[in-house]
Amino acid sequence: MYRVFEALDELVAIVEEARGVPMTAGCVVPRGDVLELLDDVRDAIPGELDDAQDVLDHKDKLVGDARANAEKTVSSANAEANSTIENARDDADRILADAKAQADRMVAEARAHAEQLVADARAEAESSVAEGQREYDTLTGRARSEADRMIESGKASYERSVAEGTAEQARLVSQTEVVQAAHAESARVIDSAHAESDRLRSDCDLYVDTKLAEFEDFLNGTVRSVGRGRQQLRTGSGVPDYASDYDVDDRRAERRR
């Protein structure tokens, strides 16, 4: 079969490499080479066709053998599968029976253990209740005694506080009377100080007024003396006598006193 393809390839190469005939689509090929290749193709084709026909003839036999083998394999597989299923079913039944027996045994053991735990818990609870009751009675008695003691102590402290408060109240009352007396005395002293201050202010005002009057007279005398002196200077009547003016002013001040 490969020779057929080789001969065909060589024919194609010869045609492609052949010289063309002018003015036509034909070409010139070597006749001997082409005929030789065609003979090779003719010689190669019958053998390949015979081989193909042999394959076609054996096809039905091969398919039949394959079908027979497949049916035999399927039958064997079905038988083995059925056997496996039966064995698995037997194993499953046995495992279920064992599991059920073990479960029943575990349930019985768990029930017995639970009953034992309940009994132990009940006994422990009763013991705890009794112990708690005893502790409660002890603590209650102790608390009652402590409460009575604290009440007595509080009552004594209350009475002592009341007595101390009464004494402190009396002391504060006496101190209040002293404070009131001190306030009255301070008010009297303040009033006396105000009266003395008013008197001193009046004396001071009188003294200042007197001094201002004397100073006013002195200034008036000075003004008059200066006026006369200026007048005498303008008229040329002589030296002015300032001492007489001061003497007159002194006499006036003495009369005012």
Output the pTM of the full model.
Answer: 0.27
Tokens linked to 251: 């006499």
Q: Which amino acid is present at 178? A: V
Contact call for residues 30 and 14 (beta carbons, < 8 A): yes
Determine what percent of the chain is predicted with pLDDT higher than 90.
5
pLDDT per residue as tens digits for the range 204-254: 888 888 888 888 888 998 988 888 888 888 887 655 555 555 555 566 556
DSSP one-letter string for 167-186: HHHHHHHHHHHHHHHHHHHH
pLDDT per residue as tens digits for the range 166-191: 888 878 877 777 778 888 888 889 98
pLDDT per residue as tens digits for the range 76-102: 888 888 988 889 889 989 999 999 999
Q: What is the pLDDT of residue 225?
A: 86
Contact call for residues 214 and 253 (beta carbons, < 8 A): yes
pLDDT category of residue 23 using cuts at 50, 70 and 90: confident
Contacts of 19 (CB under 8 A, 6+ apart): 27, 28
Q: Which amino acid is present at 37? A: L
How far apart CA 207 and CA 215 sit, in angstroms, is 12
How far apart CA 190 and CA 122 sit, in angstroms, is 93
Contacts of 38 (CB under 8 A, 6+ apart): 7, 11
Q: What is the pLDDT of residue 247?
A: 57
Q: What is the pLDDT of residue 63?
A: 75
pLDDT per residue as tens digits for the range 138-161: 888 888 888 888 888 888 888 888
Q: Which amino acid is present at 157? A: S
Please check the confidence at residue 44 and state whether its pLDDT lies above 60: yes
